[in-house]
Amino acid sequence: MKHVNRFIAVVSLAVLAGAAASTDWVLMGRHGECAPLSSLARKGPEFRGLQTPYDLIDRMRAAGHQVDVKEHTTPKGPMVEVHVPAKEIAVMVVTAEFCKAP
């Protein structure tokens, strides 16, 4: 059973990562407003060129930072919370579908 749960977790991450490659991602603000993921570049050069939340996660981990990640699946698409305490970053990254009118 333990191996089955690990397999499911790995497959789920692979599916989300695959979706990430073909999806436009944006930052979601506290009140539902959206901003381009590229707006994180103002925090420093290590935040330039991000296309997905997984780019951010990988870069921060590669730099040796602790990264807390919570992934959510919703009817509108995936949401990824990324928290990097050392960089004072706590963002919600969502697919562009969240920003479109219903």
Cα gap 38→35, rounded to integer Å: 8
> What is the extent of the structural domain holding 54?
2-99
19 falls in which pLDDT band (50, 70, 90)?
Answer: very low
93 CB-contact burial (10 Å; exposed 0-12 / middle 13-18 / buried 19+) = buried
39-98 residue pLDDT tens: 999 999 999 999 999 999 999 999 999 999 999 999 988 999 999 999 999 999 999 988
Q: What is the pTM of this model?
A: 0.74
| Cα–Cα distance, 94 to 27 (Å, whole number) | 6
Looking at the structure of the chain, the number of domains it has is: 1
pLDDT on residue 30: 87
What residues contact 3, with CB distance under 8 A and at least 6 apart? Answer: none
